[in-house]
Amino acid sequence: MRYLGIEYAMRRPPELDAGFIPFHAWAEAFLEGAAHPFSVAIEREDAQISVFRSFLRGDDHAEANARYLERFVKFLLWAVGGFRVYLAGCERYARAICDAYTQTGARAFDVGFMRTVYERPVEVIVADPARFPAARESTRAIGGHLEGCRIGFDAGGSDRKVSAVIDGAVVYSEEVEWAPKTARDPRYQFDGIVAAFRSAAAHMPRVDAIGVSSAGVFIGNSPMVSSLFLSVPEAFREDVKTIYDRAAREIGENVPIVVANDGDVTALAGSLSLGEGAVMGVAMGTSEAAGYVTPEGHVLGWFNELAFAPVDLNEQAARDEWSGDIGVGCKYFSQEAVAKLAPAAGIAPDERGNAETLKRVQKLAAQGDPGALAIFRTIGAYLGHTIPLYARFYPLRHLLVLGRVASGAGGEAIVSECRRVLDEAYPALANAVRVTLPDEGTRRVGQSIAAASLPRR
């Protein structure tokens, strides 16, 4: 196969998406002929800096250079998160990145998102290679505290899950559908959170701690950006930032609460269930939530917002309605992926939305419908071709697949096809990384249970 003058190989392509160009497979071929060093550093809170090195080809591959570097920087920004990007090497291409990352450039969404999270301007700087920033990273321990009576809450975009946990044993779990992404008044989300807390509290003699897994990016317990509050006007920003702390006070004035990104809690759930680190969790729900636990059982402090990181270079790929970009993870590992692929499988999407489309496709898959199963196999192929990309930046021993999309026969088809792709296309990685589909109960409420372990008493 050939893209932008670069020949690349892809075994076992996704059966319902012939145009798919895996970023990793193409990048590997591109880098075989690349010899011009290029460096990227990303600075985030507490003066932490992540540094990455790569290479570009000669100017006879100008279009391929520009495409590779733009997607490389985009991936790093959403993996790491930050407000300042340093670029060094091949100034011509670095300047193009600077032009894209402005309030009116091609990556205006990314700039606005990072500005909202860090509440400061975003800068992209062409740096002197001799004075390039040094890496400064730190990790931190997360979760693993299960003593006492705890509430674990998982706030998804189409359903919320809560568990009551006593000394590590789950005594109650429930899952309730809700629609936070369309609610303009944050009272809707607040009432739903409190109702879930109270439901779990009713099954325990007391509440010692509350842990929350929630979509979004957090500073402390404050959602700085979250799809759960997508329709809430800016005037309610302070109400949103305090929503979890206020909800905890409804249960008890001094009950400790810890809120973590759902991706990190996904990885924590995997690490707890497997008893070891080097785990990436990918939750396929309303969107893609990803997280990572190091071999030491710590989190990196990175964004891990891989829903917005590129995985497909096809320039005709489906566009994400929120970010405006194409080929990013949320269109491949979520309910959106199921809805996107349904027409190609001969299944009409449900006009009520992606959640209802997923239910329809899952029901058909359970009945052995070939089109429905092809949808899940296609998602599995996407994952198989994307794990090598993730493994470039996250040392992996396990990848745990969670979320509503992974329920039932569909989840089995996803993991089975993913393993076939790894075996045939990336055999070395297939031997190094175990792709795991937990049991049904863990798959559906695993994040809320892991969330319960977040706070110390």
pTM: 0.87
Q: Which amino acid is at 30?
A: F
Cβ count near 6 (within 10 Å)? 21
Alpha-carbon gap, residue 361 to 409, rounded angstroms = 10
Mean predicted confidence (pLDDT) in 147-173: 92
Alpha-carbon gap, residue 184 to 198, rounded angstroms = 23
Longest Cα separation, the chain: 71
Scan for tokens 């899940």, then name that residue: 376
Contact 209, 150 (CB under 8 A): yes
Cα distances from 125 to residues 89, 101, 102, 188, in angstroms, run 12, 10, 12, 42
Position 1 scores a pLDDT of 93
Q: Which amino acid is at 320?
A: D
Q: Beta partners for 451?
A: none
Q: Residue 303: phi, psi to the nearest 5?
A: -60, -50
Contact 176, 159 (CB under 8 A): yes
The span from the first CA to the last CA of the chain, in angstroms, equals 56
Q: Is the pLDDT of residue 251 over 60?
A: yes
Residue 321 makes CB contacts below 8 A (sequence gap 6+) with: none
- Of the ranges 65-74, 295-304, 439-448, which one carries the lowest mean pLDDT score? 439-448
Q: Which two three-digit tokens encode residue 440? A: 């049904």
**DSSP per-residue codes, 290-348:** EEEE-TTSEE------GGGSB-B--TTSPBPTTT--BSBGGGTSSHHHHHHHTGGGT-P
Alpha-carbon gap, residue 44 to 51, rounded angstroms = 12
Position 300 scores a pLDDT of 87
Average per-residue pLDDT in the chain? 93
Q: Is the pLDDT of residue 456 over 90?
A: no
Position 446 scores a pLDDT of 63
Alpha-carbon gap, residue 440 to 103, rounded angstroms = 44
Is 344 buried (19+), middle (13-18) or exposed (0-12) by CB count in 10 A?
Answer: middle
Q: Which amino acid is at 388?
A: P
Q: Which amino acid is at 36?
A: H
H or E stretch covering 365: helix 354-366
Mean predicted confidence (pLDDT) in 38-45: 96
Which residue has better confidence, 230 or 444? Answer: 230
pLDDT per residue over 138-159, tens digit each? 888 888 898 999 999 999 888 8
Q: What SS3 state is found at 68?
A: helix
Is 252 buried (19+), middle (13-18) or exposed (0-12) by CB count in 10 A?
Answer: middle
Mean predicted confidence (pLDDT) in 65-85: 97
Residue 374 makes CB contacts below 8 A (sequence gap 6+) with: 15, 16, 341, 345
Alpha-carbon gap, residue 198 to 195, rounded angstroms = 5
pLDDT per residue over 195-249, tens digit each? 999 999 999 999 999 999 987 888 889 999 888 998 999 999 999 999 999 999 9
Q: Beta partners for 344?
A: none
Position 83 scores a pLDDT of 96
Contact 140, 298 (CB under 8 A): yes
pLDDT per residue over 253-309, tens digit each? 999 999 988 878 878 887 887 788 999 989 898 889 888 999 988 888 898 999 999
Mean predicted confidence (pLDDT) in 99-120: 95
Q: Is the pLDDT of residue 88 over 60?
A: yes
pLDDT per residue over 308-355, tens digit each? 999 999 999 999 998 999 999 999 999 999 999 999 999 999 999 999
Residue 60 makes CB contacts below 8 A (sequence gap 6+) with: none
